[in-house]
Amino acid sequence: MKSQKCPICGAGPLQKIIKMETFNYKGSSKDIPNYMTWSCPSCGEEIVAKESLKESGKVLKDFQREVDGLLTGPQIKSIRMKLGLTQAQLAHIVGGGLKSVARYESGQVCQSKGMDNLLRILDAYPQTLNIINKNYVRTISKLRVVPLEEYKMKIVGYKGKNADFISDDEGVVADGV
């Protein structure tokens, strides 16, 4: 911020302050060094610098996880690496999305207690992956691949070739049985 006026009272200029900021959560505290704010000498309002928000956000999410008894981002990544999985593979196994796993690991988002429990089980008993994979294989084996024309006939309102729908005779689709 360059010599800007205070967005609250309109006075200026704002003064840069770098300090140790202490955050409290459920009776625990966390100190963040080099926390930068812009302070208004007229009204006393402080505006947190974008850099401090970004840097402290991840630290504070991990602090929240620790206080709540949840795995931290680096711990989640360690479990994934121990299992030899990519983020996409872990996302598929635990039922979350790829972006969620990436955000858990980077510290941007806290996982639920249920997700945390599942990750702890996978860490303590990696053989549970076999159970999950067998269930996935069973689900896939129940699918039946049918010719596209047969599938189209099941669509309500389909009137055949050269009618309302454009067809692709070479495609196939999976039809759950």
pLDDT tens digit sequence for 23-77: 999 999 999 999 999 999 999 999 999 999 988 988 898 899 989 999 999 999 9
pLDDT for position 74: 92
The SS3 of residue 28 is strand
What are the residue ranges spanned by the domains of the chain?
A: 15-53, 73-139
Q: What secondary structure letter does DSSP report for 86?
A: -
Measured CA to CA, the distance from residue 111 to residue 91 in angstroms comes to: 12
pLDDT tens digit sequence for 109-167: 899 999 999 999 999 999 888 888 776 555 545 555 556 666 556 655 555 555 444 44
Handedness of CA 86, 89, 93, 95 (dihedral sign): positive
- CATH architecture classification, 73-139: Orthogonal Bundle (1.10)
80 alpha carbon, distance to own chain's centre = 15
